[in-house]
Structures are given as structure tokens and as C-alpha cells.
A and B are shown apart, each in its own frame.
Chain A
Amino acid sequence: MIVVSSSSESQSHALRRTLSIDPTSRGFGYVVLEGSDRLIDWGVVHIRRDKETGCLRRIERMIDFHKPSLVVTEDTTGTGSRRCKRVAQLIEGIGQISRQRGVLTTQESLAAVRRFFSQFGLADKKIQCIAMRCTVIVHVIGSQASQAACARLERVGILPV
């Protein structure tokens, strides 16, 4: 279930950082959000050899650097998810790394993310898949702030206009 926090709750966690990771066939995409609507880091990482170990090592470094309070990944058992076994294992590995560092983790199904983004007119399947990388927004921002965040993501090229 998608939890959208109220604006007052977002303000009380002004410096709460959230890291959202979305594995891809070549590596992973990520988004780091600080507070309710401040995008501080984003990108797509490609790993050439030994993808699993390489990805986990990079994610480990990312968690150590950004020190997030929440790590968000896709719920591979949820409705609409067609992730392969390798990605499911990778997501499990991300969960383990986060737990070792005392970071909260949560998972969202692709269907839930699609439902959330469809209210902003992002109905196209491709756009929604890209929006999966921004799952983090679903967790930490209220609906009004989400629109502003989507516009910002469009500007930086994470979400196509």
C-alpha cells in the first residue's frame, strides 16, 4: 500500500534522506531525496562484469555516503512485477545491506507505483516504468508536493516530458 505523508510530517523530517533503487539489465537506477521534495542525487549505473557483486558494492558505498533513513525497492512479488530471479535476488541483497546498517527498507509493487503516477497524467506504460525509479516520491511526499517533484524530475531528465 502506498503511504503518502502529510506536509507537516514531511517538515518534521526535514533532513530525512530516502534512497530508491531500481535494478536494470545492466546495473541499476537510483534517486536520493532529502526531506520532502529535494532531489539531491540521481542517475543510472552500469556495471560491466560480475553484475551482482558490482551492483551490491556500489549500493553499499551509496548507502554509506548518503546515509539514508529509508531504502525503497520494488516488490518483486507484487502485482504487475515481471522481474527475473537475478533481480529478485539483487533486491533481497539490497535489503540485507540496508538492514546491516540499520536502515529501514520498504518495497512497493509496480502496480501501486503506476496507480500513484497515473493521477498526475503519467499514464503511459513506458513513463510509468521510468517512474518506478522515483518510487521514493510515493513514500515521502504529499500529493501536491509530488506534482512539483515530478516537474523537477522532468527538468533534470529523469522523467520525460
Chain B
Amino acid sequence: MASRKLPNYLRTHRKRSYLTQVEVAYLLGVRNGANISRYELHRRPPSLETAIAYTVVFGEPIQELLAGSYDEIALVTKERARRLSSKLRQSSANLRDARKLETLDRIILS
């Protein structure tokens, strides 16, 4: 089987902190523990508000908590940047386009 990162490591961090799903639900302001289970099993993505609350609760960045999802989104974004970059290179180059290309190169190389 593939050895890619898991979509998220929410369960790992919750278990390490000895918190129950109900307690995490309370801390995140989520209705009940069942929602926490859905996030952990990647059946439902957490909202932006919940994701930020997760980083506060576990003290880990979003790249670590939602590692697999982050990598997936980063890959798609880089692909879009690559496409936009090649489109810009075909058109006439001016100072503004040069700045845009700098930004796009940074995204692609990150």
C-alpha cells in the first residue's frame, strides 16, 4: 500500500493529550463527540473555525494536524500556479508580470 501521509493526525494528537472526543468537542465548540469522530476518520472536513481551534488546542500547525489534506491542496495549488505561470510567460512581459511570475515561482518551488 502507498505510504503517504494520513489525511489528518487529529486522533494521534487527541490521544497524546489524553482528551476524549467529548472533551475536544467542548474545547472546539462543536456540538458533540460524533463530529470529532467524523473529523478524525476524514468523513467530514473541519470548518476553518474548527481547524484554527484545533491548532490552539494541540499547539501544532495546520500542516501537521491536517498533513495529508494540506499536501493534497498544496499540490493542486502548485499545479494551478504552474499553469498560470506558463500562460503569463506566453504574453508580453512587463514589470507587473515579472512580479507576478516571481510570486508564482515561489509558490511552485515551495
Contact = CB atoms under 8 A, between A and B. Distances in A.
Interface of A: 13, 15-17, 34, 39-43, 65-69, 101-103, 156
B94 interface: no
The residue in B3, B11, B15 that gathers the most chain A C-beta atoms within 10 A of its C-beta is: B3
Given A34-B6, A41-B11, A43-B15, 4 more contacts: A16-B3, A41-B12, A67-B2, A156-B16
Interface in B1-41: 1-6, 9, 11-12, 15-16, 41
Given A40-B9, A65-B41, A156 B4 contact: no
Interface of B: 1-6, 9, 11-12, 15-16, 41-42
Nearest to A40: B12
Given A42-B15, A156-B15, A17 B3 contact: yes
A15 B3 contact: yes
Given A40-B12, A65-B41, A15 B5 contact: yes
A103 B15 contact: no
Nearest to B42: A65
